Amino acid sequence: MLSRSFGFELRSARLLLGLAASLLCAVVCPRAGAAEVTVLRNFTLIDGTGKPPAAASALALHDSRIEWVGPDSQAKVPAGATSIDLGGKYVLPGLIDSHVHLGLVDGIAQDIKFYTRELVEQQLRVYAAYGITSVQVLGTDKDIIFDVRARLRRERPDMARVFTSGQGLVYKGSYGGVAGLNQPVATAAEARAAVDEQVRKGVDFIKLWVDDEFGSLPVRMPADISKAIIDQAHKHHLHAVAHIFYLDNAKTLVEQGVDGFAHSVRDQAVDQALLTSMKQHGTWQMAATLSREASFTYTKLPFLQDPFFTRGVAPATIAALESPERQQKLAAAPNLAKYPAVLEYAMANTKREVSAGIPYGMGTDSGPTARFAGYFAHWELQLMVQAGLTPMQALTAATSSNAKFIGAKDLGVVAPGKAADLLVLDADPLADIRNTRRIHTVYIAGKPVPTIWSLCVDRPAKACEGGKQP
């Protein structure tokens, strides 16, 4: 009797749940038969976790999510589904750049007046074209970004997903931020209030700058201000991320509980005391920005005729970068001679931290003038490998590790239930990290988006005809 009663109650509950689901679907669910199912077959999977690659793999995408992953021999293609044989290509999660800036530059001119929704979305599409399917913006966003982010989270995105810290915290008279946007703070009370203001706007984390631009500014952010910012961020259960340059500031910030560094220490070699403290406190080397430092060592960037670069920028931008006037100006800059050593320290310190077991991600600091969306992420991966990481370590940093730090539980890994953000490559990036440039397809939320190889900015498509990166 008990079992019959229980069975009747279960059937009744199912009936009620079914009725409720029907009513709900009348408002928000897609119509029957509207689901998109795509099965990708015959590829090598690099799943983002650091596990060895799996040849002869397959996966099924259901609308914006990954539904199934497994051996190709076990793949089932439902009626009405699209089946794509990838012919032995390589599939990995869409890449995540943990340190970017949006909307600041038109060509190579930088000014906060350029920051519009249209420019931000244009740049997010460029990131996507390069296989960078999510970005984290560090401290230089106008409030427009919250509307952009809301739409990308509400709808099925067709551009890179975005995480933001709004306006980061700058100490008055010191380094950081963008003129006309970031409002400097002078006291701990002002710093806490500024954090609260960003939290009210809905930021994903808090950014602060501790630097003095090679000593050209009179002061760096004092320790009592940085501690107030970090403590207030933690009060709101948010990460605090710091721009750093100097070893002594890095040590202080770790002891204060900072969650991640947006750059490497670049004034000297990191010592064991910092490594031990970072491990004890769980501090992330969230980004090393090796591509940023490398770019500053040139008066003429080395990739200006690389098709992987030129397809994504206007000819006028290339002409400006190649101009003798620009090269002369950069050659006369007082800090140019300092950057080779800065890059050397950044690369060596990255390797030391990784070898010591410090958690790390991948970030570029792209977005300011002459630091280009998307392209710099691939250069960053190459430099990470040149610094001594394996290609697998670099790719894992740019996928699951970045997703973990950001707190994006549905990104960074190719697995059932995760968002279908995928990068399909024609060649093996584990054999040569430069093969991340051999982009075949980029999926965001299960839909293909234009890749860099289909772009030809500000000129006829035939002007960009040519092969892909070897």
**Mean pLDDT on 354-370:** 98
**Mean pLDDT on 320-339:** 97
Per-residue model confidence as pLDDT tens digits over 282-309: 999 999 999 999 999 999 999 999 999 9
Whether residue 413 lies inside any domain: the answer is no
More confident residue, 24 or 282: 282
Q: What proportion of the chain, given as a percentage, has pLDDT over 90? A: 91
Distance between CA atoms of residues 311 and 455, nearest Å: 6
Nearest Cα to 242, choosing from 267, 209, 276? 209
The predicted pLDDT at position 3 comes to: 35
Distance between CA atoms of residues 238 and 260, nearest Å: 12
Shared-domain flag, residues 69 and 138:
no
Per the structure, how many domains does the chain have? 2
Which residue has tokens 């560090």? 138
The predicted pLDDT at position 434 comes to: 98
Shared-domain flag, residues 210 and 254:
yes
Q: What proportion of the chain, given as a percentage, has pLDDT over 70? A: 92
* Long-range Cβ contacts of 199-204 (<8 Å, 24+ apart): 199/236, 199/238, 201/143, 201/146, 201/166, 202/146, 203/164, 203/165, 203/166, 203/238, 204/136, 204/163, 204/164, 204/165, 204/238, 204/406, 204/407
Whether residue 8 lies inside any domain: the answer is no
Shared-domain flag, residues 136 and 76:
no
The answer on pLDDT for 12 being more than 60 is no
Domain-ending residue, one of 406, 435, 452? 406
Whether residue 381 lies inside any domain: the answer is yes
Shared-domain flag, residues 371 and 441:
no
Least confident of 32-46, 200-214, 437-451: 32-46
Q: How confident is the model at residue 409 (pLDDT cuts 50, 70, 90)?
A: very high
Whether residue 411 lies inside any domain: the answer is no
The answer on pLDDT for 189 being more than 80 is yes
The predicted pLDDT at position 35 comes to: 82
The answer on pLDDT for 25 being more than 90 is no
Domain-ending residue, one of 380, 406, 432? 406
The answer on pLDDT for 23 being more than 80 is no
Shared-domain flag, residues 399 and 435:
no
96: number of Cβ within 10 Å: 31
Whether residue 335 lies inside any domain: the answer is yes
Shared-domain flag, residues 163 and 48:
no
The answer on pLDDT for 467 being more than 80 is no
Burial class (CB in 10 A: 0-12, 13-18, 19+), 223: middle
Whether residue 412 lies inside any domain: the answer is no
Nearest Cα to 447, choosing from 131, 38, 34? 38
The predicted pLDDT at position 4 comes to: 31
Query: What is the residue-averaged pLDDT of the chain?
Result: 92
Both tokens of 305, joined, read: 């005729």
The answer on pLDDT for 336 being more than 80 is yes
Distance between CA atoms of residues 67 and 105, nearest Å: 39
Instruction: For residue 160, give the CATH number of its domain.
Output: 3.20.20.140
The predicted pLDDT at position 249 comes to: 98
CB-side neighbour CA atoms (13 Å) of 309: 18
Domain-ending residue, one of 406, 434, 454? 406
Q: How confident is the model at residue 465 (pLDDT cuts 50, 70, 90)?
A: confident
Shared-domain flag, residues 292 and 327:
yes
Least confident of 22-26, 110-114, 251-255, 432-436: 22-26
Distance between CA atoms of residues 302 and 292, nearest Å: 13
Cβ–Cβ under 8 Å, residues 67 and 416: yes
CB proximity list for 363: less than 8 A, separation 6 or greater: 97, 98, 99, 100, 136, 262, 286, 287, 288, 289, 380, 402
Nearest Cα to 211, choosing from 165, 252, 246? 246
Whether residue 388 lies inside any domain: the answer is yes
The answer on pLDDT for 319 being more than 80 is yes
**Mean pLDDT on 154-158:** 96
The predicted pLDDT at position 466 comes to: 67
248: number of Cβ within 10 Å: 14
93: number of Cβ within 10 Å: 31
Type of residue numbered 459: R
More confident residue, 20 or 360: 360
Q: How confident is the model at residue 73 (pLDDT cuts 50, 70, 90)?
A: very high
**∠ CA 144-287-469, rounded to 5°:** 90
Shared-domain flag, residues 342 and 193:
yes
Query: DSSP string spanning 129-156?
Result: HTTEEEEEE-SB--THHHHHHHHHHHS-
The answer on pLDDT for 21 being more than 80 is no
**Mean pLDDT on 384-397:** 98
The predicted pLDDT at position 11 comes to: 35
Whether residue 3 lies inside any domain: the answer is no
Domain ranges, residue 435: 37-93+418-464
Shared-domain flag, residues 103 and 85:
no
The predicted pLDDT at position 30 comes to: 36
Shared-domain flag, residues 196 and 67:
no
The predicted pLDDT at position 331 comes to: 97
Least confident of 3-12, 150-159, 245-254, 311-320: 3-12
Write down how long the chain is: 470
Shared-domain flag, residues 236 and 345:
yes
The predicted pLDDT at position 230 comes to: 99
Shared-domain flag, residues 290 and 278:
yes
Instruction: For residue 439, give the CATH number of its domain.
Output: 2.30.40.10
